[in-house]
Structure 1
């Protein structure tokens, strides 16, 4: 017993020594960053984490807190979590310095080939799929367009964009719009939720999170299984020298063929990335746009007039039509300013830098938020008002304060694709229907890896007769 007691005492002393050394290390890290403005830490070790955890529990939006901090502490803000210190950059000069830098390129083999894929001829070619799937959405909405049926616009947009990306990128016909039992929409939602929550240190040890983590793992397994089947079938077709669709999957496999060793895990990772990101962001953007237009009938009337003028009674929207829908483009851009589906991005700086007169140490994680900058009156006049004229041809261009698709060499390669898809779906919706929001919604925002409306944008629809004579 005496020996055991001695061992326990020794272990306790070692633990105390380790804790003391760790606290000294944390204090040393703090000393390197404490000159940077920030809200008071709630805990020496936890830093600002308790604040974030409380907000997550209440389903409050973290970027709104950063917006409040920007008004009090300025455009360069410190964020503490244990020994980790990140710096939130809300300065156009900082955005330009880090997001436009060529020091952070994407994987040239994969992204270079896929970037080339998104050329004009390819984009014109996918208009057929955009029209096809958007028409399927219109048919589904017609069934509910009685002025009484309530439904989630976010759900409908998620399903149509899922059908689009599955077919265009991977040759899959998911039929998510018609099949209410399909597991894919829920799987994507869970993966995004997991990506968001796992950014918080030690979240998997928090009470009540085990069920969520299990669902996330099952969702990842589902998409990897489907991805593996798609890859195997496409490889067999390539080996048989059959005619291949020029899609993302083909480009990923061609890139892999150039490598000396086959890396199926990396290919599956890319498959899931494009599958998830390729529809979630566009769906959220469309839902937010419906929400904003429903709250501003004068803007709705103006954009519908443009759609009537450009499209008339046409069912199939042509590539050339998209360029004529200028005000609709402005509406979509303004929607992304207030409600960017991807609210921010992250970079790492390996060298000491000075931004806005504030010294940022080397080897620091940098956070950028287009959501916060888009709502700062420092960069946008009356920032909380929905005003598409901010993006008119003659309006001054935002100076590195608007980056819903990021900027520079790591900007989203599919942004033109996504905006074409959004325009087709939105134009058809405006052409066919009058829509209004169900009363009583909170209009709160939820960060699930992408920014989405908490209540799902509950709507009611009625058929619309346009001045050009189109009637559903």
Structure 2
């Protein structure tokens, strides 16, 4: 028998084998176990074919037409399908409304693996918070700033920025020039949400493309969504786009921190002199019984940025999608115009809250959020294998409750691919869990009332004051970024209406 000399003496060949055998076998067993679970998981749910073993379906889920693929996959593979980011990471898309209802009602936790991709921007803000107890406390503390009477109190601030919006549109009408209305919508929402959340006038409409926050968002948001879908991209910022995103985030958060400091200083100086009306003032000066601030500066910074993103981008894009669809459907435009004209006097520049109680316009907004919802949905996870409606969902796997496919599922909606506001007439039943543009259950969007106020007032103002027409040959194209957005803007001409 061969012998091997070492510092500790002599090792026989059989001793070497006995030492090396476990070292070799353990990785082999781990590999076999991983292969077994991978093969089993691949067969659990259908999904698009994998072209590369190591990157799974990333070539498809990172593509600019992935929103169209979601619809296609739902119809081809059924309401539950899966995609892969690697051999060790998959996402299961849930399109069954009964399962969606169960998950959201019981408030299954958000997927920490996926929301880690959003944290560089929003930290521990409410919408990315994966710790249930921290979410519950934060939600309770934020709620007073989003009560209906507080939201209605934001109307004067919105009216101020809408007046600036109208002045910009009047110039377009007088000069008979083409305007990208989607860009104006983004600038308006930045001005409004920046004012009520940051307490700062961003002057976005007057600055246009020179608005710094607009520029930062254009760097951050497309890359952020890719980091959310594939968290390793953000964790290891190899790509230049990812590194640029981190630098832009640092600049944006610096702006937010300064705004918080200014808001607290102003709040302390004006303590007891007047009621707080702006959301930023309410949150910045909110205190506990021991007089300590309810929110730390970091918590405020996280949530202010989340409000600016979630309250600006999706709202602006919804208005652009809506105007495009209304202009493509003359009968819908006729009904919208008739309702607005009957409720808002001609000499009104910006309507009051009572004047925008417009049922038909509300139906058109709902249909827009169904047909082309800017927000995609939510990522959830369950700690143990769980069976719902006969489907077993595996533990610790990301579940995407994704509304694009659900909102356009022909099995759930009559004429699913048609834009038809009439489907929202009262009395027409909807399957619970088939419509969730603001998410649903306890974690539904805290700012949806604010978004609805901004959309109804802006759209009523636009349709009351202007005759709009699409630029000749224009057809909207869609692009998935942080939300679904117009890829080529919304090019229109505007004429001041005359009575």
Q: Where on the TM-score scale, by shorter chain, does this alignment land: which range?
A: 0.7 to 0.9
Q: CA RMSD in A?
A: 2.8
**Aligned-pair CA distance for 1:26:** 4.9
Correspondence for 1:67: 71
Equivalent residue in structure 1 for 2:257, among 218, 223, 228:
228
* Structure of higher CA gyration radius: 2
1:416 and 1:353 mapped to 2: Cα distance? 34
Correspondence for 1:88: 93
Correspondence for 1:247: 278
**Aligned-pair CA distance for 1:41:** 2.2
**Aligned-pair CA distance for 1:206:** 11
**Aligned-pair CA distance for 1:103:** 4.6
2:70 and 2:416 mapped to 1: Cα distance? 15
TM-score scaled by length of structure 2: 0.82
Q: 1:144 to 1:208 in 2, by over 3 A?
A: farther
Q: Is the 8 A contact 2:286 2:293 kept in 1?
A: no
Q: Is the 8 A contact 1:114 1:248 kept in 2?
A: no
Correspondence for 1:128: 156
Q: Is the 8 A contact 2:187 2:204 kept in 1?
A: yes
Please list the CA deviations of residues 241-276 of structure 1 after superposition, one character each: whole Å capped at 9, or x if unmatched: 534634333444456868799843333222211122
Q: 1:271 to 1:147 in 2, by over 3 A?
A: same
SS of corresponding position for 1:227: helix
Correspondence for 1:317: 351
Q: Is the 8 A contact 2:57 2:84 kept in 1?
A: yes
Q: Is the 8 A contact 2:178 2:493 kept in 1?
A: yes
Q: Is the 8 A contact 1:346 1:366 kept in 2?
A: yes
Equivalent residue in structure 2 for 1:76, among 80, 95, 110:
80
**Aligned-pair CA distance for 1:90:** 0.2
The answer to whether structure 1 residue 375 and structure 2 residue 408 are counterparts is yes
2:32 and 2:337 mapped to 1: Cα distance? 61
Equivalent residue in structure 2 for 1:428, among 439, 458, 461:
461
Correspondence for 1:173: 201
**Aligned-pair CA distance for 1:43:** 2.9
Q: Is the 8 A contact 1:441 1:455 kept in 2?
A: no
SS of corresponding position for 1:308: helix
Correspondence for 2:50: 41
**Aligned-pair CA distance for 1:289:** 0.8
Correspondence for 1:333: 366
Number of aligned pairs? 446
**Aligned-pair CA distance for 1:233:** 1.6
Greater alpha carbon shift after TM alignment, 199-208 vs 176-185: 199-208
Please list the CA deviations of residues 215-239 of structure 1 after superposition, one character each: whole Å capped at 9, or x if unmatched: 3223212221111111112222344
1:191 and 1:225 mapped to 2: Cα distance? 15
Correspondence for 2:112: none
1:456 and 1:20 mapped to 2: Cα distance? 54
Q: 1:348 to 1:376 in 2, by over 3 A?
A: same
Equivalent residue in structure 1 for 2:304, among 266, 271, 274:
271
**Aligned-pair CA distance for 1:373:** 0.9
2:237 and 2:302 mapped to 1: Cα distance? 29
Please list the CA deviations of residues 348-403 of structure 1 after superposition, one character each: whole Å capped at 9, or x if unmatched: 11122224433211222110121111111111111111111111223223421110
1:222 and 1:185 mapped to 2: Cα distance? 12
Please list the CA deviations of residues 398-447 of structure 1 after superposition, one character each: whole Å capped at 9, or x if unmatched: 42111000001110011011001100000000001111222344522111
Q: Is the 8 A contact 1:346 1:367 kept in 2?
A: yes
2:312 and 2:281 mapped to 1: Cα distance? 19
Runs of 5+ unmatched residues, structure 2: 1-22, 110-131
SS of corresponding position for 1:80: strand
Q: Is the 8 A contact 1:91 1:356 kept in 2?
A: no
Alignment of 1:197-208 (within 5 A): 197-199=226-228, 200=230, 202-203=232-233
1:101 and 1:204 mapped to 2: Cα distance? 30
Correspondence for 2:127: none
Q: 1:307 to 1:262 in 2, by over 3 A?
A: closer
Q: 1:326 to 1:213 in 2, by over 3 A?
A: same
SS of corresponding position for 1:177: helix
1:26 and 1:101 mapped to 2: Cα distance? 33
Correspondence for 1:399: 432
SS of corresponding position for 1:394: coil
SS of corresponding position for 1:144: helix
1:435 and 1:338 mapped to 2: Cα distance? 21
2:204 and 2:363 mapped to 1: Cα distance? 29
1:352 and 1:165 mapped to 2: Cα distance? 41
Q: Is the 8 A contact 1:79 1:86 kept in 2?
A: yes
The answer to whether structure 1 residue 308 and structure 2 residue 333 are counterparts is no
Runs of 5+ unmatched residues, structure 1: 1-13
Greater alpha carbon shift after TM alignment, 341-350 vs 249-258: 249-258
